[in-house]
Amino acid sequence: MAIILIGNDFASQVYVNNKINACDTVGIKSLKYDLSENVTLTELLSLINTLNKDNSVDGILIQLPIPKHLNKELVINSVNYKKDVDGLCSRNLGALLSGNPNIRPCTSSGVMHILDNLNTDFLGKHVVVIGASNLVGKPMAIELINRFATVTICNKETINLNLISSTADIVIVAIGQPRFIKRNYIKDSAIVIDIGINRDDEDNICGDVDFDDVIDRVSYITPVPGGVGKLTVAMLMKNTVLCFQNNIYNVV
């Protein structure tokens, strides 16, 4: 797996190191490319094109976020879909939307893995997804729709958000607001999946959900850190193996 890191963002460096360590653990060779924050779009696309053509590289990961002067959608879609270990290019997202996914976005597939291991029956369940990004919220909603859940997608502009989320059997949160979700957003015995990772005013890592405030209301809740993040990395390893198989068997 080739990992492209642009700039010196501390959090991104930590995430990349975690992914490299995971590769080492499971026996996947990782190649790290450190690029300047001022790298041009032409230079970046040239590197991606070289990696696309390199038969020894099975997967390509571009650590997000990337600098604003780069066209994120263009960069993501410049990766060969067979090597798109993040599952975020238009072709892979389109396959997920059609209900016939190959490489699935890591975070949403990690959440589904958690819910499946709780033996969740999605039929008739109301799931509220708070956050509508292309990276997490939208793929998450599609995964759930494909499993015949009833899905409501909310965002920061949603009116009476707590009234909507408090009707949900499952609440999935990815909004980047530390401890935003309180107990009045959650109904009794709901399952809460916290995808957010933030630092509070005291520089402590926390999620989008106020864990201590809701813990006595929920049936299950994922912690931050140590919850969805670990599954995201695990799904990245799985996707790298799938990309390897795609390349070996020349999957169309």
Catalytic positions, written as ranges = 19, 63, 86
The arrangement of strands across the sheet holding 220-221 comes to 150-154, 126-130, 170-173, 191-194, 220-221
Beta strands in 166-213 (DSSP E): 170-173, 191-194, 198-199, 205-206
- DSSP of 121-172, one letter per residue? --TT-EEEEE---TTTHHHHHHHHHHTT-EEEEE-TT-TTHHHHHTT-SEEE
For tokens 């299950």, name the residue. 220
- Which helix (H) or strand (E) segment holds residue 115: the answer is helix 106-117
Residue 42 tokens read as 């032409």
